[in-house]
């Protein structure tokens, strides 16, 4: 008996094996009923049988072997994908999902060989069956991973949103305590709370912005007519207050008025300057230049320090990256999102950001059109 016919004729026995194995996938399967354990197994098997019964070109065979065929021939688009989605929602992990297919492959072939004793003429059936199962695995794993990433990002986004209120309450309370003039101990404790709250707020903002970009929403901006010279001067004053031992110079050339989101560009500049402080030579100044020319403004942040390798420069704006030469606890307080968010802010304004480095200095440059 050909393998496709065997799958159709012995569907109940195969599904029973599937269910028995799925029941062992704990703790996710502990309270699942038979229908949930079987899920889309029958539809997947019917698609596999249909695929085995039809003609297959060498090109189709090659694409299956590479996991590049979009779906099994004649299969519903959602068969393997919906199975992956429901397994993810039921608490299965990706290893358990793949284990189901591995067990299905073994049980089908074992039942077929025990009952039908296939000969060497049926080798092609076995090869094509394995290819079809591999394709189903590829569909399921891809969709499972996408759903898990989406769920995680949604969770982190909601967490960041819900944490804002209690954090703001803490900061307001600390500011109130600082204003009481109740003695050095109270004022010192209030100042520490304010600094810690500000740091937590920055980390929280980075996390929320990161998740917006991962969800495809991009960085949210509200452009107005602003002067970057005054805006950046105010931002650098705040950075100097936090890092009083570091010299940070600002040089403005030309007209720097345009339509941008002021708070976002302050965030961009702050991220670049803090990066220069963390990774640059500790005794050397950080130099910020803003140059207005024609329809755009150029921002450059320079610091002395060890040259960044070319391979690192190529991925320096990727998320969750941190320099290999970070120094002390300053870098340890970073999520590794600062440069990534700076790039997304520049992109949201229609601008570009880049980095270059040599033995003399490292320069981050941002080009901002005056209008998006």
* Architecture (CATH level 2) of domain 224-369: 2-Layer Sandwich (3.30)
Q: What is d(CA 28, CA 87) in angstroms, rounded to the nearest whole number?
A: 9
Selection from 212, 230, 228 nearest residue 220 by Cα: 212
**Higher per-residue confidence, 61 vs 371:** 371
Task: Please state the pTM of the whole predicted model.
Answer: 0.55
Does 327 have pLDDT greater than 50?
A: no
- Which ranges of 295-337 would DSSP assign to H, the alpha helix? 310-313, 328-332
Domain assignments of the chain as residue spans, ordered by start: 1-218, 224-369
Mean of pLDDT values over 39-55? 87
Mean of pLDDT values over 131-159? 79
Torsion of CA 131, 133, 139, 145, to 10 degrees: -120
Question: Tens digits of per-residue pLDDT, 75-98?
Answer: 445 578 888 888 888 888 889 999
**Higher per-residue confidence, 310 vs 260:** 260
Lowest mean pLDDT among 60-74, 100-114, 269-283, 333-347: 60-74
Mean of pLDDT values over 142-170? 74
Does 326 have pLDDT greater than 70?
A: no
**What's residue 78's pLDDT?**
55
Lowest mean pLDDT among 59-68, 142-151, 237-246: 59-68
CA distances 46 to 3, 188, 323, Å, are 12, 71, 52
Contacts 24+ apart (CB under 8 A), 2-6: 2/52, 2/122, 2/125, 3/52, 3/108, 3/112, 3/118, 3/122, 3/125, 3/126, 3/129, 4/49, 4/50, 4/52, 4/53, 4/125, 5/49, 6/111, 6/112, 6/115, 6/116
Mean of pLDDT values over 142-162? 74
**In the chain, % of residues over pLDDT 90:** 34
Distance of CA 84 to the CA centre of its chain: 20
Mean of pLDDT values over 243-264? 93
């Amino acid at each position: 008996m050909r393998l496709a016919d065997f799958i159709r004729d012995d569907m109940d026995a195969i599904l029973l094996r599937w269910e028995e194995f799925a029941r062992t996938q704990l703790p996710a399967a502990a309270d699942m009923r038979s229908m949930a354990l079987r899920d889309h197994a029958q539809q997947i098997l019917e698609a596999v049988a249909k695929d085995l019964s039809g003609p297959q070109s060498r090109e189709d065979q090659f694409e299956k072997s590479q996991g590049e065929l979009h779906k099994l021939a004649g299969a519903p688009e959602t068969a393997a994908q919906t199975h992956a989605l429901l397994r993810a929602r039921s608490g299965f992990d990706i290893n358990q999902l793949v284990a189901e297919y591995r067990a299905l492959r073994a049980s089908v072939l074992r039942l077929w060989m025990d009952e039908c004793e296939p000969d060497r003429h049926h080798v092609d059936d076995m090869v094509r069956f394995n290819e079809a199962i591999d394709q189903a695995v590829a569909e399921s794993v891809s969709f499972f991973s996408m759903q898990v990433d989406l769920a995680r990002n949604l969770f982190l986004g909601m967490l960041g949103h819900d944490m804002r209120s209690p954090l703001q309450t803490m900061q307001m309370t600390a500011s109130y305590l600082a204003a009481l003039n109740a003695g050095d101990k109270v004022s010192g404790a209030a100042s520490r709370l304010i600094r810690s709250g500000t740091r937590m707020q920055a980390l929280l903002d980075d996390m929320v912005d990161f998740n917006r970009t991962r969800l495809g929403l991009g960085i949210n901006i509200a452009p107005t007519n602003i002067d970057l010279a005054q805006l950046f001067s105010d931002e650098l004053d705040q950075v100097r207050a936090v890092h009083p031992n570091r010299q940070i110079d600002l040089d403005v050339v030309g007209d720097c008025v345009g339509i941008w989101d002021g708070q976002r560009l302050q965030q961009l500049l702050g991220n670049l300057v803090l990066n220069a402080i963390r990774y640059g030579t500790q005794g050397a100044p950080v130099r910020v230049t803003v140059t207005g020319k024609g329809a755009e403004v150029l921002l450059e942040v320079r610091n002395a320090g060890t040259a960044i390798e070319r391979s690192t420069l190529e991925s320096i704006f990727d998320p969750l990256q941190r320099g290999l030469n970070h120094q002390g606890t300053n870098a340890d307080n970073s999520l590794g999102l600062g440069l990534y968010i700076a790039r997304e802010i520049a992109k949201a304004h229609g601008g570009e950001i880049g980095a270059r480095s040599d033995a003399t200095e490292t320069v981050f440059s941002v080009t901002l059109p005056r209008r998006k």
